[in-house]
Amino acid sequence: MSEPLLHLALRVEQDIFLVRQRGREVAAAVGLEHQDQVRIATALSEVARELLRGADGADVTFALDRDAVGRRVLQVDLSPLRPLPGGRYEPQSGAVARLVDTLRAVDVEGDTVVRMSRRVPDHAEELTPERVGQLRAELAERAPGSALDELAAQNSQLISALDEVRSQRDELEVLNSELQETNQGVMALYNQLTEELEETNRGVVALYAELEEKSAQLRAASESKSRFLANVSHELRAPVTAIIGLARLLADSASDPLTGEQARQVGLIRSSAGDLLGLVNELLDLAKAESGRIEPDWSEVDLRAVFGQLRGTLRALTTRSEVELVVEEPPAPATLRSDEVLLAQVLRNLLHNGLKFTERGEVRLRAERRGERWTLSVTDTGVGIPPELHERIFEEFYQVPGTTRVGGTGLGLPYARRLVTLLGGTLELTSETGRGSRFTVVLPAGGA
Ligand code: ADP
């Protein structure tokens, strides 16, 4: 519901000042801030000037109303004396419309009226109907000032507007210089970070180069170790074999008879030389496998035949009656693509270990086909291996403490694992101390 506050007539040039001045007074009365008072007064004088020229004047009404969402607005209607061309109104400058919240032509009972509005702030004093009535009375009573007064007021408004523009420009300058400073700071930080990043990068690159050099050195060292082992063991084989032969000759019944003590010592020489030959042979095998000099001879291997052979050769090793060697019959079709000699060597080694480290119970060899893989397991009921040593026993020369009395070199398992890798498979261990061990060879049925 519109609540009228003041009516004015716009007829002559002088009235433009009047409309402007009273507009500012009304705006102040309903609680608009100083800036808004000047804005609405300026918009009013502009529209008034246009209507005086284009429509010979207008009737001006100030009122309080509510906008679409129910908020209080100061509304000014200017009804032209003559109809506007085409019933439309368009301010000459778009800037005028921006001085208020709305400025447009509306239809009031068939007449086109130019209406502008500006929202009254919420904190404006409570505009009760009584208060509005009071305001209306006050506004009606107030004597209009002269054009000169309005000009003076307009001037002082202009000065304060200029002042404000200047202070805003100063503020902007300060902001700009602050922004520039911040920018410089950010750039400095960015440069520093870039430098640090580059330095770190250079460090990483150097580290990589060093790492590569070290691993090349390591590779070279490992290769020369294998070469050295292969050469030395090869060179040692001949003299050790000669010692064994000579000892055999000495002990031969066809030779001069030896005293009991001599025969015992020659026997010691023979067995020591035999051990040495075993070690030399194992070293040679491992060195060959490590230096990649063993090339598997791939063929269709019959597991039954391999198992049969192992059963025969290892039975001789089962000297204890408390230990049974069980070589199960592999399920048919028991074939895989592999190297028969190398495979037999691995299994023999594992079975041999099983027999060495089992006092009673059994050592069992079993083959199972799982999809495209064969699982060959050697399970014993022997001393077992503590879990923390499960990987160590695959290192060269490592023997579980306390097991050395049964002999051996500590080279069998690393060699076996290397051969299984060559055959495209894996060699793993599960074991519990005192409960026995299981070594499992998994091989692809179709070869590596
Ligand atoms: P070697 O048997 O010649 O000592 P290996 O490399 O074959 O060398 O084995 C290394 C060590 O692993 C053995 O000395 C032994 O301590 C342990 N080991 C291997 N097989 C078994 C087994 N079946 N049961 C218990 N310990 C074993």
Domain boundaries, the chain: 3-145, 299-444
**Range of lowest pLDDT (94-108, 310-324, 331-345, 385-399):** 310-324
Share of the chain above pLDDT 90, in %: 57
Torsion angle of alpha carbons 166, 172, 173, 176, nearest 10°? -170
> What's the CATH superfamily of 3-145?
Histidine kinase-like ATPase, C-terminal domain (3.30.565.10)
**Distance (Å, rounded) from C-alpha 305 to C-alpha 315?**
16
Mean pLDDT across 379-385? 94
- pLDDT at residue 315, as a whole number: 85
Q: Which one of 346, 357, 358 would you pick to mutate in the ligand 1 pocket, going by the greatest count of ligand atoms within 8 A of its CB?
A: 357
pLDDT at 298: 95
What is the reported pLDDT for 124?
A: 62
* Residue of 270, 266, 279, 272 lying closest to 237 (CA atoms): 279
380 lines ligand 1 (CB under 6 A): yes
Say if 3-145 and 299-444 have the same CATH topology. yes
Average pLDDT over residues 48-60: 93
pTM score over 0.85: no
Q: Regarding predicted confidence, which is higher, 295 or 441?
A: 441
pLDDT band at 161 (very low <50, low <70, confident <90, very high): confident
Nearest CA to ligand 1 atom 20: 353
Q: Where are the beta strands (DSSP E) in 101-235?
A: 102-108, 111-119
pLDDT tens-digit series, residues 202-261: 999 999 999 999 999 999 988 888 788 888 888 888 899 999 999 998 888 888 888 999
Q: Is 129 exposed, middle or buried (0-12, 13-18, 19+ CB in 10 A)?
A: exposed
- Which of the four pLDDT bands, split at 50, 70 and 90, describes residue 364? very high
Q: Looking at residues 77-102, what average pLDDT do you find?
A: 87
CA of 226 to the centre of ligand 1 (A): 22
Of 409 and 19, which is predicted with more confidence?
Answer: 19
Please work out whether the CB of residue 413 comes within 6 Å of at least one atom of ligand 1.
yes
Question: To which CATH superfamily is domain 299-444 assigned?
Answer: Histidine kinase-like ATPase, C-terminal domain (3.30.565.10)
The answer to whether residue 5 scores a pLDDT higher than 90 is: yes
The answer to whether residues 335 and 303 touch, using CB atoms and an 8 Å cutoff, is yes
Whether the pLDDT of residue 189 is over 80: the answer is yes
**Residue 436 Cβ < 6 Å to ligand 1:** no
